Structure 1
Amino acid sequence: MPDDLMRPLADVMAPIDRARGLPNAHYTDPATIAAENRAVLETTWAALAVGADVPEPGDAKPIEFLGQPLLLLRDEDGTIRVFFNICRHRGMILVEEPRRIEGAIRCPYHSWCYSKSGRLVATPHVGGPGQNAHAGIDRATLGLSEVRSHIWRDVVFINLSGDAPAFEELHADLLKRWAEFEQPQYHGGADSSFTLEVATNWKLAVENYCESYHLPWVHPSLNTYSRLEDHYHIEAPGQFSGQGTYVYRQLIGEDGKTFPDFAGLSDHWDAGAEYIALYPNVLLGVHRDHAYAIVLEPVAHDCTREHVHIYYPTPETDDALRATNSAQWRSVFEEDIFVVEGMQRGRAASGFDGGRFSPAMDGPTHLFHAWIASRIDAAGA
């Protein structure tokens, strides 16, 4: 790549006191974004969905990710799998809407059928009328094409390229940091998940989530008790970044009820909480009594769906308290919408050079920019 084209990425990867943010093209130009997607979303572990999207064996959910038709499926053994949502015969889409698959997955075109584990089990008339087999069609090699996947904290991660390091190896630092939370967690159900469609590039949602700098102005209610000065940076270059707080206020219902705590947590979590962006596209939060995951779906260069899911330490929690918790988090996340949409609109300004970072306040966000730039640089995109 010519030096003059590489210069902006070098500026992004520079030390924070002189770094600039990603150029406008990374938020507005389809060609630039397509190359970026290959470098930062296809060749690492990107978040696709959560296991709660397919809670029972046979549950299937078609998902389009980066234009790829995928199928999230829980098989008969309860294992979550991700397949390309296409028949191996002529590439027909297999499942159009989320549903429970009772028997086989049947292609609506020529009725080729697949088991829930992906095996090709039926090929009607493939050898001619009434002949359901043919020497040239080897069913053993024509099962559904499976996408490499991994489940952590109920988040379904996929590696489209198939060659990323093992998830446990790549994210060993975060697994160690949150080892206390490696215990059962339970999705709160229908009232504990919601989706926000936001007119912004997915990266701006990550950038905003990473830092606490905006709290006094964007989240004034939250800032009344968990103030800017109560927060600390979380910085793991090339992996994740975010913020923590020393002041988490547990939700208390009108009857004095609270959610039960996760078991065996250290004293830090009595009033502490952490909010981490695990690169590239999942936002995670942990507290003594609940956790959440936000899967960012990059719909278009200027459109992102934020899929929010809230989890608890026990399968049964108070209905009213759970609904209040969900409503409070929704309100907080909605407060961020005008910010990320405003930054997206701002990227149309030809005079914007990527912006600057506060060396004291923007470290977690700069790390995300630098990670994006380094992966594009390494890929030669």
Structure 2
Amino acid sequence: MAKDIPAQTLQAVRQPVETANGLPNAHYIDPETFEIEKHAVLLANWAGLAVAADVPEIGDAKPVTFLGIPLLLVRDRNNQVRVFQNICRHRGMILVAEPRKIEGAIRCPYHSWCYSTEGRLVSTPHVGGPGHNTHESIDKSLLGLVEVRSHIWFNTVFINVDGNAAPFEEVHADLIARWSEFDQPMYHGGFDSSFTLSVNTNWKLAVENYCESYHLPWVHPGLNSYSRLEDHYNITEMGKFSGQGTLVYRQLKGMDDMTFPDFPDLGPKWEEGGEYITVYPNVLLGVQRDHAFVIVLEPKDLDHTDEHVHLFYAAPKTDEALRQKNATQWKSVFEEDIFVVEGMQKGRHAPGFDGGRFSPAMDGPTHCFHDWVARALERYAGH
């Protein structure tokens, strides 16, 4: 596979924000470049796959495809969420085709080889001939499910497919410290607190748009009417994460001015503030005093992305009508961004576009992301 993204291209991206170019067209519309980024950016780092609430109970299993790789999300008998390759070690058959509860073992529908929820191969019926369930050449201890390295933080299941990234806690130590007040139980709002938006764009454009508040007055006029552009600030941690914050977060109210319960023991910063940060490469997070959200960007292919949105609360039970109102409000906000990211994707087919320039005052978070992608590509090219 080619690794020859021109060094001068990456150098132009990694200049200071005042003089840097963005990533050029190939990074959004060229299949070979997408293949390089798949390995260098998404498989080599801690990418978001799902939320732990996708498998809420012991024995729950959910098949997930990530960049064409069939994976299986499982909550094992010890209540640990694991990620396995969703294939039998016998002939590579898909093990679980639909979300379901594993009552006994994970059974391959082809030849009935069976695996525990911890991934051990426990049964190989007739492998030695009819009625003989063992064979001297089949060592079950060596044929368990292939586990993918995973880590859960902020209710999000992150995976490092190539297995070579530094530990998650080390890579994201600064962000974990920044949001340490939210290191407490959060509860998924349930069926009415998750939705998926399918967008015709490269996944990076969804990140780039989310990072900055520059577009608020024109793309989100309703939101900007009370949380104005001038109420926002940039978050730029070069090589780590980026996003935006607001000094004016307005709690949603229901009947009789009902609000969601607050997360306990938060500092004064969060009384009227909120922050919205990208965990590179593909997880968008938001925190406020009374709820949080996780958006896992799933790159379906070069120019199609699914945005999986999940809302979390401080209490296990919250008012259903208020939850639905909150989900509807956030969905409306995120839908307002669709024409922008799809429009930028179409714009990347204009010959000669060099990636554009950044506003030094307003685009720092987006430049920070471009710089991080360029660093990942440089590391990959140096292998």
TM-score (norm 1): 0.98
Aligned twin of 1:270: 271
- TM-aligned CA deviation for residue 351 of structure 1: 2.7
* Residue identity in the other structure for 1:76: R
The answer for unaligned runs of 5 or more in structure 1 is none
Q: Within 1, Cα distance between the matches of 2:352 and 2:283?
A: 31
- TM-aligned CA deviation for residue 338 of structure 1: 0.2
Q: Does 1:315 align with 2:320?
A: no
Aligned twin of 2:287: 286
Helix, strand or coil: the match of 2:40? helix
Q: Within 2, Cα distance between the matches of 1:100 and 1:2?
A: 42
- TM-aligned CA deviation for residue 2 of structure 1: 11
The number of residues matched between the two structures is 381
Helix, strand or coil: the match of 1:295? strand
Q: Within 1, Cα distance between the matches of 2:86 and 2:278?
A: 29
Q: Within 2, Cα distance between the matches of 1:80 and 1:272?
A: 32
Identity of counterpart residues, as a percentage? 68
How do 1:214-225 and structure 2 match up within 5 A? 214-225=215-226
* Residue identity in the other structure for 2:244: Q
How do 1:114-263 and structure 2 match up within 5 A? 114-263=115-264
Q: Within 2, Cα distance between the matches of 1:208 and 1:50?
A: 22
Paired residues of 2:77 and 2:117 also in contact (CA < 8 A): yes
Helix, strand or coil: the match of 2:117? coil
Q: Does 1:362 align with 2:363?
A: yes
- TM-aligned CA deviation for residue 102 of structure 1: 1.1
The answer for unaligned runs of 5 or more in structure 2 is none
TM-score (norm 2): 0.98
Helix, strand or coil: the match of 1:197? strand
Helix, strand or coil: the match of 2:295? strand
Helix, strand or coil: the match of 2:158? strand
Aligned twin of 1:339: 340
Q: Within 1, Cα distance between the matches of 2:47 and 2:3?
A: 29
Aligned twin of 2:63: 62
Cα deviations by residue, 1:155-214 (Å, 9 ceiling, x for unpaired): 000000111111111100001000111111100000000000000000000000000000
Helix, strand or coil: the match of 1:331? helix
Cα deviations by residue, 1:273-327 (Å, 9 ceiling, x for unpaired): 0000110000000000000000000001110000000000000101111110110
Aligned twin of 2:97: 96
- TM-aligned CA deviation for residue 4 of structure 1: 9.0
* Residue identity in the other structure for 1:107: C
Aligned twin of 1:71: 72
Q: Does 1:300 align with 2:281?
A: no
* Residue identity in the other structure for 2:324: A
* Residue identity in the other structure for 1:275: Y
Deviating beyond 3 angstroms after TM superposition, the runs of 4 or more aligned structure 1 residues are 1-4
Aligned twin of 2:81: 80
Aligned twin of 1:353: 354
How do 1:99-114 and structure 2 match up within 5 A? 99-114=100-115
* Residue identity in the other structure for 1:219: H
* Residue identity in the other structure for 1:229: E
- TM-aligned CA deviation for residue 374 of structure 1: 1.0
Q: Within 2, Cα distance between the matches of 1:35 and 1:4?
A: 9
Helix, strand or coil: the match of 2:91? coil
